[in-house]
Amino acid sequence: MSLINEALVSSTETFSMLKDQLKELKNEPTPFYLYDLNLFEQTLEKAQSAASKYNFQVHYAMKANSNKPILRLVKKYGFGADCVSGNEVKRALKRGFSPEHIVFAGVGKSDAEINFALKHDIFCFNCESSHELAVINELAEQQDKMARVALRINPNVDANTHKHITTGLNENKFGINIWELEDVLQLIQSLPNIELIGLHFHIGSQITDLTVFNNLCARVNEIQDWFNDRGLELPHLNVGGGLGVDYYHPDQNLIPDFESYFAIFNENLKVRPGQQVHFELGRSLVAQCGSLITKVLYIKKGRTKNFAILDAGMTELMRPMLYQAYHKIENLSSVLPEVKYDVVGPICESTDCFAKDVMLPETNRHDLMALRTAGAYGEVMSSEYNLRDKANAVYVS
The pTM (predicted TM-score) of the whole model is: 0.91
Output the pLDDT for position 166. 46
**Nearest CA-CA partner of 330 in 316, 319, 343:** 343
Write out pLDDT tens, residues 358-386.
999 999 999 999 999 999 999 999 999 99
Residue 340 to residues 22, 332, 364: CA-CA distances in angstroms?
A: 26, 16, 13
Looking at the structure, do residues 297 and 261 belong to the same domain, yes or no?
no
Looking at the structure, do residues 74 and 177 belong to the same domain, yes or no?
yes
Reply yes or no: is the peptide bond before residue 31 cis, omega within 30 of 0.
yes
Output the pLDDT for position 302. 85
Residue 356: what are its φ and ψ, rounded to 5°?
Answer: -110, 145
Looking at the structure, do residues 178 and 281 belong to the same domain, yes or no?
yes
Output the pLDDT for position 167. 43
Looking at the structure, do residues 373 and 238 belong to the same domain, yes or no?
no
Looking at the structure, do residues 309 and 195 belong to the same domain, yes or no?
no
Output the pLDDT for position 165. 40
Residue 5 pLDDT level (bands cut at 50, 70, 90): low
Residue 290 pLDDT level (bands cut at 50, 70, 90): very high
- Return all residues near 34 (Cβ < 8 A) that are at least 6 apart: 18, 21, 22, 25, 290, 291, 292, 293, 370, 394, 396
Q: Are 214 and 269 in contact (CB under 8 A)?
A: no
Looking at the structure, do residues 255 and 309 belong to the same domain, yes or no?
no
CATH number of the domain residue 9 falls in: 2.40.37.10
C-alpha to C-alpha distance for 120 and 117, rounded to whole angstroms: 5
End-to-end C-alpha distance for the chain, whole angstroms: 24
Output the pLDDT for position 264. 97
> Angle at which helices 37-52 and 68-76 pack, to 10 degrees?
30
Looking at the structure, do residues 96 and 191 belong to the same domain, yes or no?
yes
Which residues span the domain enclosing 91? 37-287
C-alpha to C-alpha distance for 321 and 315, rounded to whole angstroms: 10
Looking at the structure, do residues 243 and 335 belong to the same domain, yes or no?
no
Task: Give yes or no for residue 10 having a pLDDT over 70.
Answer: no
Task: Give yes or no for residue 389 having a pLDDT over 50.
Answer: yes
Residue 24 pLDDT level (bands cut at 50, 70, 90): confident
Mean pLDDT score, 175-200: 94
Output the pLDDT for position 204. 85
* Last-in-domain residue among 287, 305, 340: 287
CATH number of the domain residue 269 falls in: 3.20.20.10
Looking at the structure, do residues 19 and 99 belong to the same domain, yes or no?
no
Looking at the structure, do residues 293 and 280 belong to the same domain, yes or no?
no
Average pLDDT of every residue of the chain: 91
Q: Are 212 and 240 in contact (CB under 8 A)?
A: no
Write out pLDDT tens, residues 112-153.
999 999 999 999 999 999 999 999 999 999 999 999 999 999
Write out pLDDT tens, residues 158-184.
444 444 444 434 455 557 988 899 999
* Last-in-domain residue among 287, 315, 345: 287
Q: Between these two residues, 23 and 310, which has the higher pLDDT value?
A: 310
* Last-in-domain residue among 287, 304, 334: 287
C-alpha to C-alpha distance for 64 and 285, rounded to whole angstroms: 9
Looking at the structure, do residues 17 and 58 belong to the same domain, yes or no?
no
Q: Into how many domains does the chain fold? A: 2
Write out pLDDT tens, residues 240-285.
999 999 999 999 999 999 999 999 999 999 999 999 999 999 999 9
